[in-house]
Structure 1
């Protein structure tokens, strides 16, 4: 017997509905507001609708609580594709994926190539290795985070839910690192055919540059843009540069 999964999905949008739409996918425990407010505020236009969601179990897309069992990236990609087609009635769109959202975006490009017009990912990886797991465990204790990094998540979730789900995420990522050689995608990156832009922050403490290089080398015809001063949240810190880069890519 198949299991029917029903989710309440919260989303935000800006710009005019028309020929072009960009669907923004947040990072781990992220939401439309926490992860894409600057893009929702200034990237949308009369020629581009910008949409972002709170993935199942994140932000205001609760209940149910977040489920990190199995390969949740594949599951998120399925829910996201159905959301865009069934709820918002979009057959084609571009994807902007950050961090975990970048992995989901890559999976959507693999699973639904006919729907993805263009792909932009940053702070994303296709595999999880020992260095990644070590890094995740180094930031397991949220009490050691700076207040600036911790406060938005505490405000969104409350300390108990945030702490619990953050630790569950680290445990889930560790488990994924032992499966299929740590490769978290279902499909071969070389089959991605849509125009792809990979952005990497040179000073990203969460995702090494070798991940961006791997994506660039394995996605045919992809472009790689490195922000010399960029960190993991480069789209939030360098809003104007990021938005122009993405806008130019989506409109050309």
Structure 2
């Protein structure tokens, strides 16, 4: 499958992203990455291609200071806002694991009109947003590895209890990288959720 590497200038910073899948669809999935990873990990795991094969257009964005993306003075959720605005993206499905789960929560709180859905995977720092989670008004999936020793399972329960109408999917035997440990299953869970 053809994977295009592209750059976009966001307020003077070159931001790198990978793009694959159909160009003739408005069904777009934006994959952010965890702190130890880059856009290429979505490709290497097979998840990006699995989603593209289900008919989605997939963008794997490298956050400022990661991979081939330059640092930016903007908050990371604002880089995402500028990126989506510059590319004139239709509302998209946003997937954020670990530290980008927190970025995704902040983005959903500020720019929910730009989202078709939100998927939060083993996010850090959920407790910092507990009082505001009820204000997330977008279709939300929570995915968690129950054995996570970085972002405790209590965070998954907190998200489920406080985000209206949210769904929770648990990998009982996995930890913080449940989505890579079970890439095929994770891809199916996402695809099914997006099409609900």
* Residue of structure 1 equivalent to 2:110: 111
Greater Cα shift, 28-37 or 207-216: 28-37
Given that residues 118 and 195 in structure 1 are in contact (C-alpha distance below 8 angstroms), is that contact kept between their aligned partners in structure 2?
Answer: yes
Which position in structure 2 is the counterpart of 1:140?
none
SS of equivalent residue, structure 1 residue 8: strand
Give the structure 1 partner of residue 47 of structure 2.
Answer: 39
Decide whether aligned partners of structure 1 residues 245 and 186 sit closer, same or farther in structure 2, where only a CA change above 3 A counts: closer
Residue in structure 1 matched with residue 85 of structure 2 by the alignment: 85
Matched, 1:193 2:170: no
Runs of 4+ in 1 over 3 A off after TM superposition: 125-128
Question: Contact 1:125/1:207 (CA < 8 Å) preserved in 2?
Answer: yes
Task: Classify 1:31/1:187 alpha carbon distance in 2 versus 1 (closer, same or farther; 3 Å).
Answer: farther
The TM-score, its normalising length taken from structure 1, stands at: 0.68
- Shift of the alpha carbon at 1:47? 2.5
Alignment-derived partner of residue 230 in structure 1: 174
The CA RMSD over aligned residues, in Å, is: 2.2
How far apart are residue 92 of structure 1 and its match? 1.0
More divergent stretch after superposition (40-49 vs 105-114): 40-49
Q: Mark the CA change 1:186 to 1:212 in structure 2 (over 3 Å): closer, same or farther.
A: closer
Alpha-carbon distance in structure 2 between the residues aligned to 1:186 and 1:81: 23
Give the count of matched residue pairs.
185
Asked whether the equivalents of residues 143 and 170 of structure 2 are also in contact (C-alpha less than 8 Å), the reply is: yes
Displacement of 1:208 in angstroms is 0.6
Which SS does the other structure have where 1:9 is aligned?
A: strand
Match of 2:179, SS state, is helix
Q: Using a 3 Å threshold, how does the CA distance of structure 1 residues 60 and 220 change in structure 2: closer, same or farther?
A: same
In structure 1, how many angstroms separate the alpha carbons of the residues matched to 2:186 and 2:115? 20
SS of alignment partner, residue 94 of structure 2: strand
Higher relative strand content: 2
**More helix as a share of residues:** 1
Q: Please tell me whether Structure 1 or Structure 2 has the larger radius of gyration of its CA atoms.
A: 1
Q: Which runs of 5+ in 1 are unaligned?
A: 129-182
Aligned to 1:11: 17
CA displacement 1:175-196 (0-9 Å, x = unmatched) = xxxxxxxx2x598210111110
